[in-house]
Amino acid sequence: MRKDDLTVDEATVIAEHARSGALELDDPEVRKVVEQANRVLVRAQMWGEERSPKLRRRRRFIAIGALVMVLVWVAGLLVPLALRFGV
């Protein structure tokens, strides 16, 4: 985690204060922090709170493996057709 990143707990508190109207959203700096808090919350809801490099590598490996499987499947469909029709 970078030094300037918010934790999920901090982001939750900031988002709650923004929703309740306790923060002055006209100030650009406050608006940036609220937007960052919302991004952190959405990212945590989508991918989970843990942002470890090990988990990121594992997800990347799974995504690349799935892509390779799809490409092999498509090639298995198209190569025989191309050979049959002489393309």
HEC sequence for 15-35: HHHHHHCCCCCCCHHHHHHHH
Are residue 60 and residue 27 in the same domain, yes or no?
Answer: no
Asked if 5 and 44 sit in the same domain, the reply is yes
Q: Rounded to two decimals, what is the model's pTM?
A: 0.55
Count of the separate structural domains present in the chain: 2
Residue 16 to residues 19, 25, 36, 37: CA-CA distances in angstroms? 5, 13, 13, 10
Which one-letter amino acid corresponds to residue 42?
A: V
Do 76 and 43 fall into the same domain? Answer: no
The boundaries of the domain holding residue 76 are 52-87
47-66 mean pLDDT: 84
pLDDT at 2: 53
pLDDT band of residue 87 (cuts 50, 70, 90) is low
Predicted confidence (pLDDT) at residue 4 exceeds the cutoff of 70: no
CA distances (Å), origin 71, targets 37, 65, 68, 83:
38, 10, 5, 18
**What per-residue confidence (pLDDT) applies to 1?**
47
